[in-house]
């Protein structure tokens, strides 16, 4: 019988960790997740991925709207967990909750701290052109991802890897790191040693907002490429063509091309000039239309060489 754990998490990234914690034989006394939310055009009330996993395994699920009115703290004192595990829960825990578990509250964060503290570490490290990232297991403190670090695992980021692809790999790595860390806690029977983050190299990864995904072709092709990779599959990088929104799902740097920023440089391919070099759009979706390969798009739309995007 493993340790008694309370798990707090919400999205798919966290669901992967919960599955591995259950598989490792730990006693998950309760699962806390965000309330069900309306999703999509139909606004259908949808369960968070963590809730789905918890219910499949017959675990008690709680979805509080507030954490600071004392109710959750009371529940947790009654449970008396050895450890609270937090993975992408989406809420800051108040001090009174942080102090309840015997071994503390442990968080898995999807970056190599202290870089990319905050809500959007996976997307921002792609947008910023990082070549490696990873996950950090840390004790939770009252600040945003400021706690002492217990363990870290890193991986290389592929040149054309999207934020979605990186998310899926980090979700697996995070789950592995968490299970290894829990095994160490169980063996030690007490809090594990940890290293303070320090202030060198601190950076932040704020919540992604839709307007951040607008392509600026004045920037070098490498930066444009990174934005397109980092904003996939939400909110999706975009520009404008003849005043209509054009989403760009996939692109590559176009070697050997250069030209005026934002201008189409070719007849039968979507190669666009940038501030330095050029970018080739491979998959696009025009407002009101379907997602298409560049070839299919050009067969259905007359787009002349020399046209300027972004207007």
Instruction: Write down which residue in 153, 188, 223 finishes a domain.
Output: 188
The dihedrals phi and psi of 95, each to the nearest 5 degrees, come to: -55, -40
Q: Say which CATH number the domain at 160 has.
A: 3.40.50.170
CA atoms within 13 A on the CB side of 22: 18
Q: In this predicted model, what pLDDT tens digit does every residue of 144-189 receive, in sequence order?
A: 899 999 999 999 999 999 999 999 999 999 999 999 999 999 999 9
Q: Say which CATH number the domain at 214 has.
A: 3.10.25.10
Q: In this predicted model, what pLDDT tens digit does every residue of 217-265 receive, in sequence order?
A: 999 999 999 999 999 999 999 999 999 999 999 999 999 999 999 999 9
Claim to verify: residue 157 and residue 23 sit in the same structural domain: yes
Whether 138 maps to a domain, the answer reads yes
Claim to verify: residue 222 and residue 147 sit in the same structural domain: no
Whether 154 maps to a domain, the answer reads yes
158 Cβ neighbours under 8 A, 6+ residues apart: 165
- In order of 8, 224, 238, the CA distances from 286 in angstroms are 39, 19, 10
Residue 3 near residue 83 (C-beta atoms within 8 A): yes
Claim to verify: residue 150 and residue 224 sit in the same structural domain: no
Claim to verify: residue 147 and residue 225 sit in the same structural domain: no
Claim to verify: residue 110 and residue 241 sit in the same structural domain: no
Domain limits at 82?
4-188
Number of domains in the chain: 2
Claim to verify: residue 111 and residue 228 sit in the same structural domain: no
> Can you tell me the distance from the alpha carbon of 234 to that of 164, in angstroms, rounded to the nearest whole number?
9
0.85 surpassed by pTM: yes
Whether 200 maps to a domain, the answer reads no
Instruction: Write down which residue in 155, 188, 221 finishes a domain.
Output: 188
Strand segments, DSSP code E, in 125-274 are 132-139, 149-156, 237-241, 244-253, 270-273
The least confident of 37-41, 120-124, 186-190 is 37-41
Whether 58 maps to a domain, the answer reads yes
């Amino acid at each position: 019988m493993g340790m008694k754990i309370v798990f707090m998490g919400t999205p798919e990234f966290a669901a992967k960790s919960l599955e591995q914690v259950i598989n490792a034989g730990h006693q998950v006394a309760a699962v806390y997740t965000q309330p069900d939310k309306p999703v999509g055009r139909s606004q259908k009330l949808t369960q968070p991925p963590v809730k789905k996993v918890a219910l499949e395994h017959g675990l008690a699920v709680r979805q509080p709207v507030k954490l600071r009115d004392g109710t959750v703290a009371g529940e947790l004192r009654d449970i008396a967990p050895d450890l609270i595990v937090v993975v992408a829960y989406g809420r800051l825990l108040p001090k009174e909750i942080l102090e309840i578990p015997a071994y503390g509250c442990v968080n898995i964060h999807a970056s190599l701290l202290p870089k990319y503290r905050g809500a959007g570490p996976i997307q921002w490290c792609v947008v910023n052109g990082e070549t490696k990232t990873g996950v950090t297991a840390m004790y939770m403190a009252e600040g945003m991802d400021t706690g002492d670090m217990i363990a870290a695992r890193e991986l290389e980021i592929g040149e054309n890897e999207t934020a979605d692809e990186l998310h899926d790999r980090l979700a697996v790595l995070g789950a592995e790191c968490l299970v290894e860390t829990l095994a160490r806690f169980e063996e030690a029977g007490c809090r594990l040693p940890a290293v303070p983050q320090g202030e060198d190299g601190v950076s932040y990864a704020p919540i992604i907002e839709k307007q951040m995904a607008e392509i600026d072709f004045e920037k070098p092709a490498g930066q444009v490429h990174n934005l397109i990779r980092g904003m996939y599959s939400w909110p999706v990088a975009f520009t404008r063509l003849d005043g209509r929104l054009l989403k760009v799902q996939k692109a590559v740097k176009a070697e050997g091309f250069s030209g005026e920023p934002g201008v189409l440089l070719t007849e039968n391919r979507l190669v666009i000039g940038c501030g330095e070099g050029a970018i080739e759009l491979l998959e696009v979706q025009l407002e009101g239309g379907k997602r298409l390969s560049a070839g299919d798009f050009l067969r259905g739309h007359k787009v002349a060489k020399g046209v300027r995007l972004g207007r």
